[in-house]
Amino acid sequence: MRNISDTIARLAATRGRSVFSEPPGHTRFSDIAEFGSNPGALRARLFVPEKLEDGAALVVVLHGCTQSAAAYDHGSGWSQLAVEQGFAVLFPEQRRANNANLCFNWFAPGDIGRGRGEALSIRQMIEAVVVTYGLDHKRIFITGLSAGGAMANVMLAAYPEVFAGGAIIAGLAYGSASTIPEAFDRMRGHGGPSTAGMQRLLREAASHKGPWPKIAVWQGSSDDIVVPANADAIVAQWQGVHGVGHLPAHTEKGCRTTRQIWCDVNGQEVIEKITVAGMGHGTPLKTAGDDGLGAAGPFMLEVGISSTRDIASFWGLGMSSEKRTTTRDAKMVTAPATALQTNGLAEKPRVVRVEPQEQSQRPAPPRNSAVGITKVIEDALRAAGLMR
């Protein structure tokens, strides 16, 4: 049985191979300087493609430990896919002052509750970007790897009304740990709440009665940092709110993957679990060929499978607007609206202070005075209950 010091040693051994700064030639991001009170003291990085229609989707991407936002994007290819499909990508980024290994604090009670710490910072930056660029409140998605995957699950639990879907790669169940020793135990698959306890934690994370975001869970069968039992725990946690049984509706076998699917009473896929045979700890990539994305590196694993493309497809991001409308009308249920909509604030582009770093990037909306910019964002955040 591994102990905590052994796990730390193995993570430290890979730390020197990780990329903390901008990869060569990777200058796609802008920094969002103002997006609310930012109680979690996170950095907000944004990529907006030149061809972005009003009402485009937003994907929120959370990097893993020892990674930067730029390094994770360089590996996963999310901004590349955003150019192809015309959505915006927000990359919350951890700071060393918060966590020495650049991990999101997915287990810390002060950072994972609705209206607290890092979770509130991410929620605030989401709202600022959506309001600024006139994005679709009904098409906000979130994904992440490892600690970032666990933090993505935090956001899905704490703010389920915000997200239409999520994807958790080598992550952990919401609320399964509240201390560092517990976090390492859960990573190794030891201890933690019962299935009923985990489902209760999810239901009580927000006063939300549905509809719930659809969830994809990705896991390597040979992951010895966040062991496969954690993927099962995440699936079990979300089975409760989606009202699906323990056994999947059907299973699909590929060359290296096993995909298990759970469907709701209307036959819609609401949970999927993809296990990649023989893969260790990291994000599955396919970097070669016409449909290749990203680049292999530490925790970015070339296995001939693009999790980025598959996740986007599961969410329906490549779907035409006509097909999305038809699908929504047929189901008679849309993705959840945000508190901003329910408070009656009109959806239209607003201004946030953005510092562009790439000339070819779509420019930020025209600026007002600094005072006016701040007021617009703060008013929107207050209307959404995200700022006092």
Q: Which residues are catalytic?
A: 146
SS3 93: strand
Sort strands 30-32 and 354-355 into parallel, antiparallel or unpaired: antiparallel
Sort strands 269-276 and 257-263 into parallel, antiparallel or unpaired: antiparallel
Report whether 352 contacts 129 (CB < 8 A).
yes
Strands (E), the chain: 30-32, 43-47, 58-62, 88-93, 140-145, 165-169, 214-220, 250-253, 257-263, 269-276, 283-285, 300-302, 354-355
User: Is residue 46 left, alpha or beta, with left meaning phi > 0 and alpha meaning psi from -120 to 50?
Assistant: beta
Strands (E), 23-161: 30-32, 43-47, 58-62, 88-93, 140-145
For residues 355 and 370, what is the distance between their CA atoms, to the nearest angstrom? Answer: 13
Sort strands 30-32 and 43-47 into parallel, antiparallel or unpaired: antiparallel
For residues 369 and 170, what is the distance between their CA atoms, to the nearest angstrom? Answer: 44
Name the token pair of 17.
């191979």
For residues 105-140, one letter each, b for 16 or more C-beta atoms within 10 angstroms of the residue's C-beta and e for the rest, the string is bbbbeebbbbebbbbbbbbbbbbbbbbbbbbbbbbb
Report whether 281 contacts 170 (CB < 8 A).
yes
For residues 63 and 149, what is the distance between their CA atoms, to the nearest angstrom? Answer: 8
